Structure formats: C-alpha cells, structure tokens
Amino acid sequence: MVTTKSQSNVLRYDIIGSRRFSNYCFAVIVAIGALGFSLAGLSSFLKIDLLPLSEPLQLEFLPQGLALSFYGVAGTLLEIYLLYVIAIDYGSGYNEFDRNSGKVTIFRRGRSKNKNIELTYKIADVQAVRVEIRNGLNPKRALYLRVKGKGDLPLSEVGQPISLTLLEDRAAEIAKFLTVPLEGL
C-alpha cells in the first residue's frame, strides 16, 4: 500500500506489484550471471576466449562447458520471465472503499486481462478490519478485511513487512471509514 487517495466518500490504496527495486536488481544480476555462463560454455565449445577475465579455454566442453551452457540457458529463461513479470506489473492493484456506491473493491493485476482478480463486496457485508502481527524469524504484518460469508481477505501487499505505525494507521483509517470494529490490536 503506497498511495492513499482519500476524498469525502472514497478511500483508495494503491498496491505496488512486481515493479520493485529489488526485482530490477535481481533481474540485472541474473542477466549478468546468465551471460557469463553462456559465454564460458560457448568459449569451451569454440575454443575462443570470449571472457577476458577468466580462462574458459581450459574447460572441456563435455561435461563442464555443456553444464555451463545449460546454466546460461536456464538463467536466460529466468531473465525473460522476470522481465515479463516486471513489464506487466504483476500483482499491482488497489483497494477501494466507496461510500457513494456502497462497495468495496479489491483489484489485483494478473498475467493478462482475463487473469485479473477483481473482488467487489457491499460495505454492509464487511464485518471487521483485522490486523495480524507476528514477530520472530519470519515476521508477518498483514491487514485483512472480514467479509460476511467469505472469511478474511488480505489487503496488504506482498514483500517486506510494513511498519507497525503505518499498519495501525491504515487499519484504523479503514475501520473508521467503514464504521466497523478493528480486531487484533
């Protein structure tokens, strides 16, 4: 949840998808590694030094050069997947609470327009806003919307846990806006 657009009767939180700095860094690292493995495997096959900082000519193509080539191809495929996911901004979306229409909309972008997730509920069906805080080695700080007959729907974005103050502020703002109880604090 990054930006808040709060008007008199509409509250909206935008969700960051796969266009994160960490994904860009990971994509660059994978691309460099895949290129290195591919060039090392190709150098051992062609007996031409394509990597000036190492000596891939000392490698036999079978089995080392072939294995390096395989790692290069696998890295390239992973790189293509990462670039695709970043390009479509997979997982981005918004949480919108609209008093004018009396609806809550949770939208997340998928792989294509047919794979998008859009959940719409009546504000009257919302029972509570729940906060889950778990500390330790695998901390979890999540915000949920309890809807009648549907259980708890996650409102938090995936990634690093958000700060406690931000989580509490957003939970209180949503609960106050929807006039429902706040649970878990």
Q: pLDDT band for position 136 (50/70/90)?
A: confident
Strands 117-122 and 126-134: unpaired
DSSP-assigned letter for residue 123? G
CA separation for the pair 97, 103 (Å, rounded): 6
At 114-135, the pLDDT tens digits run: 999 999 999 999 999 999 998 8
- pLDDT computed for residue 7 by the predictor: 54
Tokens 């997979």 sit on residue? 90
Round the average pLDDT of the chain to a whole number and report it.
Answer: 92
At 67-84, the pLDDT tens digits run: 999 999 999 999 999 999
Structure tokens at 27: 């994509």
Given a cut of 60, whether residue 2 has pLDDT beyond it is no
- pLDDT computed for residue 47 by the predictor: 94
- pLDDT computed for residue 157 by the predictor: 85
23 burial (CB, 10 Å; 0-12 / 13-18 / 19+) is middle
Domains assigned to the chain: 4-17+91-183 (2.30.29), 22-88 (no CATH)
Given a cut of 80, whether residue 5 has pLDDT beyond it is no
Structure tokens at 109: 């972008």
For residue 127, list its beta bridge partners: none
Q: Nearest 5°: phi and psi at 182?
A: -105, 125
